[in-house]
């Protein structure tokens, strides 16, 4: 049995490597779909399950990990921004507020799946339009849920966090490693 990460995210790969996990990457080609109105905790777990199941179909003897992360502010799910205007809208919404980051993780092996979700609260400093535009100009927000990366320049926007930092990066690696013990040992 091999451990397979069903994700193209370099951040998830880095987190798993840092944790000392041996794994291969097999990017999911699953078409992600969630019904409107789905709660964030359910949405990230469903998306993680879709990714993991698609890869598990191609790697039936392996333990496959799928993950998905969203940011929720004022009851709205913020995925990756569509363009710079969308990134500005998201960052303006996050400015001076506390929001939640949810990451859903799904483990699939031998046709059986298990999902879980981690939540971290993040508080942003109040941001001026100039700060937001300067951050957007770096290009960093464009491929990240909520239009920021806490592991990059986005760390300068964050006043505090409550919960797992790695979860905000995109994978609750400590919780994942604890779950993996049930499969490996």
Catalytic, 68? Answer yes
Q: Of 136, 127, 132, 145, whose CA–CA distance to 76 is shortest?
A: 145
Identify the three-state secondary structure at position 171.
coil
Q: Which of 68, 74, 83, 86 is catalytic?
A: 68
If you ran DSSP here, which 8-state letter would residue 126 be given? P
CB 170 within 8 A of CB 105: no
CB 179 within 8 A of CB 107: yes
Element (H, E) at 43: helix 40-58
Cα–Cα distances in angstroms (integers) from residue 37 to residues 28, 86, 159, in the given order = 24, 20, 30
Cα gap 2→63, rounded to integer Å: 6
- CB count within 10 Å of CB 119 equals 17
Work out whether strand 3-5 and strand 158-162 pair parallel, antiparallel, or are unpaired: unpaired
Catalytic annotation, residues: 68
């Amino acid at each position: 049995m091999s451990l397979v990460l069903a994700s193209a995210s370099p951040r998830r790969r880095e987190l798993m490597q840092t944790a000392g996990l041996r794994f291969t990457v097999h990017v999911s080609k699953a078409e992600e779909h969630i019904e409107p109105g789905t709660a964030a905790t359910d949405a990230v777990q469903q998306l993680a399950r879709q990714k993991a199941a698609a890869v598990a179909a191609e790697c039936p003897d392996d333990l496959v990990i799928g993950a998905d992360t969203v940011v929720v502010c004022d009851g709205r799910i913020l995925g990756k921004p569509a363009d710079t205007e969308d990134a500005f809208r998201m960052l303006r919404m996050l400015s001076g507020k506390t929001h939640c980051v949810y990451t859903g993780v799904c483990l699939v092996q031998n046709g059986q799946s298990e999902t879980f979700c981690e939540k971290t609260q993040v508080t942003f400093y109040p941001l001026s339009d100039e700060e937001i535009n300067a951050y957007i100009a770096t290009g960093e927000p464009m491929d990240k849920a909520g239009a920021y990366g806490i592991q990059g320049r986005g760390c300068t926007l964050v006043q505090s966090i409550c919960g797992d930092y790695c979860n905000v990066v995109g994978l609750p690696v400590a919780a994942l490693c604890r779950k993996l013990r049930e499969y490996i040992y």
